[in-house]
Structure 1
Amino acid sequence: MSDNILQRARRTFLLEANALNDVGLLLDEAFEQSVQLIHNCNGRVVFSGIGKSALVAQKIVATFNSTGTPSIFMHAADALHGDLGMVQEKDIVVILSKSGYSPEIKALVPLIKNFGNKIIAIVGNKDSYLAQQADFILNTSVSQEACPNNLAPTSSTTVQMVMGDALAVCLMELKGFKDDDFAKFHPGGTLGKKLYLTVADVFTANEKPMVLETQSLKEVIVEITKRRLGVTAVVDEKGQLAGIITDGDLRRMLEKNTDIEQTVARDIMTKHPKTIDPAELAVSALDLMRRNAITQLAVVAGAEYQGIIHIHDLLKEGLI
């Protein structure tokens, strides 16, 4: 029974992957022209569809908006009952349909054409009504659905989705859409934080543990305990970072039977510790910690010690 389930699952992946490959080979000048049309559009891109195609259209709208191409979704059925008013003069309309013959689509298309808006069809039948009426045809024909009855939209909706992604990616490249642009549209959540949250945004909420090179071991222990970060920076008289002492350094020092009474900060500090500039991204601090198997970094601007960023800070921000 388990083997049959896995075989069916793998068959689904194979059928949909083959469908994607086949549709990729169907791309032609109409795709390039559609990308250029959208790129030069002074309005929005209005996506529409019915049934499963409508759900795919909504996902594509979300992708377009998050990558800098203003888009809206208009359900084909609702368009016939008032929502058609959302289509503005300079908008481009993209209609998704497997058959291209749905009654709602057949009723919607002439209305849009009367408005004078350009229509791009993402359609699974090049001979359909929708394809014949569209200005540009993006062929998403599939030879077989992954559904064992060859009925439920599976392969066909997958290729529609990827066609939308292909449009979005090409538009991103034409626009020169970069990480900074992406961050503007994703300010919330982990994704946004990885793109804009800096070390300075995080470490300033912490205590600033610090001792001079000549301070005693007792003073070092008190500072580490008081600041609750498991570490203290060691600075010179100018406030510049000379080294760092962690609670682990203290334990290792005690194991060596060191003369505690004579020990000062400079004797046990780690010289040339890993540091990070406050302007760096917080995710860069996380990467540096992971690569060096450490949990704290000294924050340094130039040579001046600013504070400590701890891996717990990054955990609180949801970066881990």
Structure 2
Amino acid sequence: MSIILLIAVAVVGLVFAVVLINFFGLWLRALTSGAPVGIPTLIAMRLRGIPNSLIVNARITAVRAGIEVTTAELETHFLAGGSVDQVIRALIAADKAGIKLDFNRCCAIDLATSGSGKTVFDAVRTSVNPRVIDCPGTDSGKGTIDGVAKDGITVLARARVTVRSNLDRFVGGATEETIIARVGEGIVRAIGSKETYKGVLENPQDISKDVLNRGLDAGTAYEILSIDIADVGVGNNIGAKLQTEQAEADKQVAQAKAEMRRAAAVAAEQEMRAKVVEAEAQVPLAVAEAFRKGNLGIMDYQKIRNVSADTDMRSSIAKDAGKPPTK
């Protein structure tokens, strides 16, 4: 009986030693930091596969910053696939900046940004310190936004958009790409409303004001603070190019119609020549018939031959006169 008791005491002692080795230091650190966590809670975390040091350290950081958060809330967010460290950092940054951000909304933003390359801490930081977005974007492959004024001159512009995160719309709101696309569309529309390109060059701020007043940040995760035209220049004369192309097209149409008329005239001429040849072929028959009926004498026939010979001679002389002289 004493042996069994000794074994039981040894087992209990071994378990107690294992608990002390694994959890006592973490428990003591939490206790001395003002964020106590019970040893049973630490054991339960280990059994659920949750890194208890991560949860305890995150709670210590939050409590020391004056933010109350329970270990159960942190465990739930970890099991949901969220980043506990980023949530705590974001809560602290929002609290120090005076931004209202509760734990549940912070966790929702963290889960929404998971896998996007951004974090909830970045969202809070952008809300505190606005960031600048280049328009067009650096990855678009274009250096400028091209718009055409009413006089046909292309205006090349680059804009810098200052935005800050809108935490109320961060979950489900459109991203930077939407901001860039809307601002680019607004700039093109504003340039197109100008009578001449000179109006854009003289007052580029009118473009930014017009675009800013359109409320382009609606439905996005950002609030547009300002739109500044960083650079503006003059491109090609699209109007003149279009007019030139239209004139060339009209010329080709006119040439085609003239060619059709020329072909019709040539065809008509050939038809007339054919009729003349046909009529000339009837002359010998008519002459023979006139001889048989006695309507034509030999002298009359000789005069006809002389007239025909004179006509052929004049035609030959006229053709030779139209040729250039030979050396």
Is the shorter-chain TM-score for this pair beyond 0.5, marking a shared fold?
no
Could you tell me the TM-score, scaled by structure 2's length?
0.24
More strand by share: 1
- Give the TM-score of the pair, scaled to structure 1: 0.25
Greater C-alpha Rg:
2
More RCO (CA 8 Å, sep 6+): 1
